[in-house]
Structure 1
Amino acid sequence: MHNPDPVSDSGGKAMPEVGPPTSREFEDFVYLISHDVRNSVRALIELPQWIEEDLSEAGVKMDGPVGRNIELMNRHTGRLDRMLVDLLAFSRVGRMQEMVHADLAAVLDEVLDEVILPAGFRLVRAFDCTHLHIGERDILTLLTALISNAVKHHDRAAGKIIVSAHREKANVVLSVTDDGPGIPENFRGQVMDAMTTLRPRDEVEGSGMGLAIARKIALRYGGSISLSAPSDDRGTRVQVVLPQ
């Protein structure tokens, strides 16, 4: 019994076998889809605002069900936009950037220009190691993700975040430590999965991509990431080890 003929095109030529997409091809796909879909989402964010402005100019009060529905549309389109932004960041890890000898103090200053700490929060720098060899955008993305997570998931009006770096043999160990509610030990692996949050998104706005992005950056550079509790009852320490 002979094997069936291979799939052929209209000219009778055998079509080449197509294997599963590579990781790079998949990331290219995620990047393109996220980029294109975000253009439509930006329009969806603006449309409720235009409707609200038109109704206001027409003398229609934005209260009751109409006001609530407009607010709901704004909340969900904003949430979708954040997810797409984080998917774009996830797909770009290790790509489209130069390797640099990053000055950690300068990088942190740049991050804090974007991530505004609430009034009751303070950030402490503890850099025994001042520079890190890494992609110029990846270090910004890493610190932004970790500091944003520490603020977003804190349960008090006041908090303390410590950003530290030191050398261990041929590695740089970068840590972000907070005094928030902490993460139970049995959930510390799960929270590094993409799109994962321990609290409903109606309680804490976020895409659930922060720690997934941090883990991808650590692995991209041959390093590791771990979560621990800095004290017995509160806080989370995210430690990223990066070979140099």
Structure 2
Amino acid sequence: MTESEKKCQEELVVLKKEFEEFVYIVSHDIKTPMRAISNITTWIEEDLGGNADKEVLDNFRLLKIRVERLENMMNALLELSRVSRSEMELYEVNIPKLVNDCIEMLDNKSNAEFHFTYHLKKENIVTLGKKLQKVLFSLLDNAVRFHDKEKKNVFVEVNENETDYEIKITDDGPGIPEGVKDKIFSIFYTVNSKDVVDSTGAGLAISSKIIKMVGGAFQYTPAVNSGSIFTFNWPKQ
């Protein structure tokens, strides 16, 4: 390593530390005043009692929703900054069971039908289980949450290769407009307004960073008729 490369490496370490400290301050210390705003709003509602104007109560409700969303975004930012430092335990997981567990955790799956295709030599793998679960849950949640039809079809396909698993999540929803598909992996970006679909817009950014950390690949392609296809490769080692 040359002297110039060594200096750049040292500066990168310093910048990374400063970034992590900044993220911690933003995502941790700001939570207290945000919660105070929500609490004060609730106290004012209670003081007004039954005589409160409906429009005023609606505005209080919107204020609390905005505060909650901001807190969720701060939590997501903190999670993104800690991808390579938290939940790094290796343990054995069963892939079909892990998929089913993620589906059970979804809170908006009532009108969704899931279809599974597994081509596996072994269902079990020793890996960063929490990280794989995070990616799977995020993609399944997006497939259901952003769906625009009454009946929602979600397809899960897992193929085992020599060195990795190729996992594909497909839906028959609205898809992603061609002009914004390059933005979907950016932190906090959402195709729909956050007032239309409640989401922080951080799931794909966190998933992308996790997959990159483990040495995998992640891509989006539009489905043939409509919908989205998210494919990622998860290394066995």
After TM superposition, the score normalised by the length of structure 2 is: 0.82
Deviations 1:79-119 (A, max 9, x none): 11221222232223232220223222332343234322342
Question: Corresponding residue for 1:235?
Answer: 227
Q: Distance in 2 between matches of 1:122 and 1:24?
A: 44
| Mapped contact 2:45–2:52 kept (Cα < 8 A) | no
Note if 1:198 corresponds to 2:188. no
Mapping 1:49-198, distance limit 5 Å: 49-56=42-49, 59-64=50-55, 66-97=56-87, 98-129=89-120, 130-198=123-191
Match of 1:6 in 2: none
Unaligned runs of 5+ in 2: 1-9
2:218/2:231 contact within 8 Å kept:
yes
Structure with greater helix share of residues? 2
- Cα distance change, pair 202–93 in 1 and its aligned pair in 2 (3 A): same
- Stretches of structure 1 that go unaligned for 5 or more consecutive residues are 1-17
- Matched residue, 1:219: 212
Q: Which amino acid aligns with 1:90?
A: L
SS of match in other structure, 1:100: strand
* Counterpart Cα distance in 2 of 1:131 and 1:43: 46
Task: Mark the CA change 1:31 to 1:184 in structure 2 (over 3 Å): closer, same or farther.
Answer: same
In the superposition, the TM-score normalised over structure 1's length comes to 0.80
Q: Tell me how far apart the structure 2 counterparts of residues 188 and 144 of structure 1 sit (CA, whole Å).
A: 21
Q: How many residues end up aligned between the 2 structures? A: 223
Aligned-pair distance for 1:212?
Answer: 0.8
Larger Rg: 1
Output the amino acid matched with 1:236. S
- Quote the RMSD (CA, aligned, Å): 2.4
Q: C-alpha deviations, 1:155-212, integer Å up to 9, x for none?
A: 1222011222111231111121111101134432221111212222222222221111
Question: Which of 16, 19, 25 is matched with 1:23 structurally?
Answer: 16
Q: Does 1:41 align with 2:34?
A: yes
Contact kept in structure 2, 1:94 and 1:138, CA below 8 Å: no
Change beyond 3 A, Cα 1:96–1:125: same
Label 1:48 to 1:151 Cα distance change in 2 as closer, same or farther (>3 A). Answer: farther
Percent of paired sites with the same residue: 28
Offset from partner CA, 1:48-92 (integer Å, 9 cap, x none): 233323322xx323412x122202202211211221222232223
AA partner of residue 161 (structure 1) = V
Name the SS for the 2:11 alignment partner: coil
1:46, distance to aligned residue in structure 2 (A): 3.5
Paired amino acid for 1:239:
T
